[in-house]
Structure 1
Amino acid sequence: MSNDVNSATSSFVDSLRWPDKKVPTEKNDELKQEDFFALLTQQLSYQDPSKPADNDQMISQMTNFTMAEGISNLNTKFESLAASMTSNSALQASALIGKKALLESDTVEHGPGMQSRGSIIVAEPVEKLTLSIVNDKNELVRKIELGEQSVGATRFEWDGLNQSGDPVPPGEYTIKAEGQTNGKFESLPTATFRNIDSVNVNGSQGIVINTKAGAVRLTDVAEIA
């Protein structure tokens, strides 16, 4: 009687258990070097003795397989290298935050304790080079005389004072550079230093820096200060 009870109890307990299921193994369709040699051995075993396989053809097959395997391994290494370079670029880019970038611009930023600086691009020797600083009401705030300048980048600084020597409110001011070349006054391109607020690592565009004036690629920055 007890044996029957034990048997019934065992059957009831077994019925409560999860049925054993075999986890299917994933098939890998990639041919490895061992698979190639297995196929080559099989090919040799079925060849016609009267028409043996051409040695040149066999060497060509082995060479093609070796090249394919090498290219596959090379691609894997390049992917790893690209990931490492992206990581290094992000780390280096983070060191730019807080620095100043010289960007092509026709405005200059002024704030408390800020020394507004920039450059005027002189393509030909000029005489009577001047820099005019204008506020948002299109009023002339300051005119800086820079005199005669040779070819190159002519630096300028503005202390935030107007023509009378009084401080002006903080904000963005328009700048305009003019110089006399061959008896004619011409406008010249300008660039100003902007504070780098943040940086992005953007695949196709590389490192992009963000300033109050907008976003620009690092390759378009003339100078970092």
Structure 2
Amino acid sequence: MAGITGAGQSNLSYLDQLKGMQEKKLQDTQSKVTGQNELKQDDFLSLLTKQLAQQDPFKPVGNDQMIAQMASFATVDGINQMNEQFGSLNSAMTSSQALQASSLVGRDVLIPGATGVKKAEGGITGMVKLPQALDNMMVRIENEQGQLIKTFDLGAKPPGEHRLEWDGTDEDGKPLPEGRYQVKASGMVGGENREFEVSTYANVNSVLLGNGDGNVMLNLAGHNSPFKLAEVLEVGKA
């Protein structure tokens, strides 16, 4: 790659010379771990100064070419600064979200999914979303093995979201052990039985900052995997 060797010998544009410098530095870093491996602002200014000082006086660099080179440099520099600012803004927003999410510890949040966690005492509370009115909505409770534990009906329901509450007992009214249970809701639509979307409440144990992707995660009681804060549908009582 040719370089600037003296007056009247610079036939390469400013950007071509930058490209040559970059390629040479990349080759050097293949055999050398430490050292500078990217062009800095001083490199651009140094090359620009040399190009002006050593240009052919009979064929000087045109104003249009000079303006284009300066504009290219300004654009690249501006993009780098913008990326740095976005990175700082993302870190600040993540920290702010984590601080706000810390107030959820000990509270119940509504999350998507029909799997609820029953404590030693009490049952499971959830929410069902109905796209249309039902004459009678049925609720089924199943254990982790898919075995039917209990069924009960909630009567006629209009379209919208409706609260579901299971007291934690079986068909005979006996309390069931703590664990994970499925809450399913269904009803007759057009002569066919149809299941509807169910969400359940879970208690927040702790807050995580995620894996460096900017997501704030919640550790929920009885759930093996954390949930994103953005997935929370509703915050319940403490």
Does residue 1:118 correspond to 2:126, yes or no?
yes
User: What amino acid is the match of 2:190?
Assistant: N
Residues 32-67 of structure 1 show CA distances to partners (whole Å, capped at 9, x for unaligned) of: 35x655544443443444333312222222222222
**Alpha-carbon distance in 2 for matches of 1:94, 1:221:** 14
Residues 119-166 of structure 1 show CA distances to partners (whole Å, capped at 9, x for unaligned) of: 12323321121223356794644x432111122222122334555666
Deviation at 1:74, TM superposition (A): 2.3
Q: Which residue of 2 aligns with 1:214?
A: 224
Does residue 1:183 correspond to 2:194, yes or no?
no
Distance of aligned partners of 1:58 and 1:117 in 2 relative to their CA distance in 1, 3 Å threshold: same
**Alpha-carbon distance in 2 for matches of 1:144, 1:125:** 18
Does residue 1:93 correspond to 2:104, yes or no?
no
Distance of aligned partners of 1:198 and 1:61 in 2 relative to their CA distance in 1, 3 Å threshold: same
Q: Provide the secondary structure at the position in 1 that maps to 2:136.
A: strand
Query: How is 1:36-185 mapped onto 2 (pairs within 5 angstroms)?
Result: 36-37=44-45, 39-111=47-119, 114=122, 116-134=124-142, 138=147, 140-141=149-150, 143-161=151-169, 167-185=175-193
**Alpha-carbon distance in 2 for matches of 1:124, 1:90:** 38
Q: Which runs of 5+ in 2 are unaligned?
A: 1-34
**Alpha-carbon distance in 1 for matches of 2:149, 2:139:** 11
Does residue 1:203 correspond to 2:204, yes or no?
no
Q: Provide the secondary structure at the position in 1 that maps to 2:154.
A: strand
Report which stretch shifted further, 69-78 or 130-139.
130-139
Runs of 4+ with deviation above 6 angstroms = 26-29
**Alpha-carbon distance in 2 for matches of 1:167, 1:56:** 84
Q: Which residue of 2 aligns with 1:21?
A: none
Distance of aligned partners of 1:70 and 1:146 in 2 relative to their CA distance in 1, 3 Å threshold: same
**Alignment check: 8 A CA contact 1:205 1:217 kept:** no
- Structure with higher Rg: it is 1
**Alpha-carbon distance in 2 for matches of 1:217, 1:198:** 12
**Alpha-carbon distance in 2 for matches of 1:205, 1:40:** 40
User: What amino acid is the match of 1:214?
Assistant: N
Distance of aligned partners of 1:28 and 1:187 in 2 relative to their CA distance in 1, 3 Å threshold: closer
Q: Provide the secondary structure at the position in 2 that maps to 1:197.
A: strand
Report which stretch shifted further, 95-104 or 200-209.
200-209
Q: Provide the secondary structure at the position in 1 that maps to 2:216.
A: strand
Percent of aligned pairs with the same amino acid: 35
Q: Which runs of 5+ in 1 are unaligned?
A: 1-25
**Alpha-carbon distance in 1 for matches of 2:164, 2:189:** 19
Deviation at 1:168, TM superposition (A): 4.7
Equivalent in 22, 25, 41 of residue 32 of structure 1: 41
**Alpha-carbon distance in 1 for matches of 2:84, 2:144:** 56
CA RMSD of aligned residues (A): 3.3
